[in-house]
Chain A
């Protein structure tokens, strides 16, 4: 299968592309929706948690089967009467909740709000109610920054709102797009970002491989047939993802949540990262791909895609420094583990004892052929191209912006204890950073479900 130009090129107006799937329609032609457990019964306070997840075993590790279709719509606020807008959006969201369970088989909807919204529309209550990061002694929601390995032209975005939609069903996502954005008068859409994940868990060729080959992306033929993501390794291992409530603002005590307003909420980082698959598969031998993705000298069977990373496998800062000194390289997983995994047992605010080595971030990243977006209101600024390219829309939930920044800095060799391992940007020793180029970044606050619609407007 090869995509046609019509499938690749979409129209210029947001209204015209809402509901359009373009090349992503092929996801439904290339795979069928995976079997899922029965739907979760009740909606919890957290918007970012999906029920009804299916877990399979791969190479001795538990792996979450992600939803097939993903989409992020970013926007600025268009409504003038904010109280009316708050009511309208909540009604639309509640309608989606009634139509679909919050599961991959149904629809996951998450509404996250950026600093421009809080500064422009609810500045006074934001001063009072926005959570603060106790460890960093800063607001829990910070402006995004460029990291040492980011290009100088990485765009730091200023969207008011981002809506994350996840489902095995494209029609569920299209329904949500229409309900929230089409003629509602609530938002001006700034970008639409689409993608996919998985599809290869029940045997056969996975979606990333099939989609990249169909799009004619360089290096697509070199992706392992059953790879969950373009880079060839399984990403959604249960042990790699934070358990249920750990990324909540309040669970680890990282954030102070005034009046409990945002309790049950979290922080979301959204970025687009282009992946040079040809460089990855033609310049890094399998052993080196394992070294740089996980940790130097890790021995796994050739062709392994799922590499267990349980609490017992967690690296310390000392491990990272030792490997850096010996080989001049660090592994991606290894480098972030000193900041992304609990360094000691912790009794969470939710009463759960989180064991040492437990992952904190909850990722919801997905592969894309957007270059860099499916649609942009400002194609020049966003440097839109019509040729598909391999990439990832990186979506991750951490308790605070600073917590995410610590993890990302560790990827660049700046460890949480302050140790700086010097690397040239895009140096081979920096692992798979060498083949990644971040085009856009923004941080958002994800309110709990009860305040997901225009948060703090009622406190004006």
Chain B
């Protein structure tokens, strides 16, 4: 129990302090585990982005305890999901969930399908996976568009999408306690600023 409470307190305290501001982050943070991201880049034969900074307690190492989804599809697109969850009210509970995606070989927004079952009949509704663009975020080397309505694993997330080397890349974060929309946007900017590009070597 004690082991669980400590990271929760750390999250609560970091949020109470307004979260780490980008000014407080050292520049050129290293990828926490380059080997795991290098393997992903080599596997999909395309560049990937390693998150050098994620909100505490998340650490951007593929295969660690926070990495609940490590998925590559036949079209070489990937989803790396990092999540921290704790049940309980107030500062004792909450969720931090960050998704990183890449779609090598395509720059258009993918299409998602929602199944709406009404009166026993399934209605398949197609929609853009990322919608409602609302501004641009710029960091060195990346100009990303912010999308506020997103589907599938990015549902209820705010998402930043950008293009690189003929591919589409995204980072998104869940709007859920202990974070509100403002804090998610602040975190996303920080995450975007701390991405490390890993090119395939084979």
User: Which A residues fall within an 8 A CB radius of B?
Assistant: 216, 218-222, 278-279, 281-288, 324, 327-329, 421-423, 427-429
What is the chain A residue whose CB lies nearest that of B133?
A302
A-B contact pairs, 28 of them (CB 8 A): A216-B180, A218-B175, A218-B181, A219-B175, A221-B181, A222-B148, A222-B181, A278-B156, A278-B175, A281-B148, A281-B149, A282-B148, A282-B150, A282-B157, A282-B175, A283-B149, A285-B127, A287-B131, A328-B116, A329-B116, A329-B118, A421-B118, A421-B119, A427-B116, A427-B118, A428-B114, A429-B116, A429-B118
Closest CB-CB distance, B152 to chain A, in whole Å?
Answer: 12
Closest CB-CB distance, B178 to chain A, in whole Å?
Answer: 12
Closest 7 CB pairs of A and B: A328-B123, A285-B131, A328-B118, A285-B149, A422-B119, A328-B116, A221-B181
**B4 lies within 8 A of chain A by Cβ:** no
Contacts of B148 in A (CB 8 A): 222, 281-282
What is the chain A residue whose CB lies nearest that of B185?
A221
Contacts of B180 in A (CB 8 A): 216, 218
Closest CB-CB distance, A370 to chain B, in whole Å?
Answer: 20
Additional A-B contacts beyond A329-B118, A427-B116 (10; CB < 8 A):
A219-B175, A279-B156, A281-B132, A283-B149, A285-B128, A287-B131, A324-B118, A328-B121, A421-B118, A429-B116
Size class of B's contact patch? Answer: 20 to 34
The SS class assigned to the A binding surface is: helix
Contacts of B150 in A (CB 8 A): 282
A286: contacting residue among B116, B118, B132, CB under 8 A: B132
Is B118 in contact with A283, judged by CB distance below 8 angstroms? no
**B36 lies within 8 A of chain A by Cβ:** no
What is the chain B residue whose CB lies nearest that of A326?
B123
Is A278 in contact with B131, judged by CB distance below 8 angstroms? no
Is A221 in contact with B175, judged by CB distance below 8 angstroms? no
Contacts of B149 in A (CB 8 A): 281-286, 288
Contacts of B107 in A (CB 8 A): none
Is A428 in contact with B116, judged by CB distance below 8 angstroms? yes
Closest CB-CB distance, B184 to chain A, in whole Å?
Answer: 10
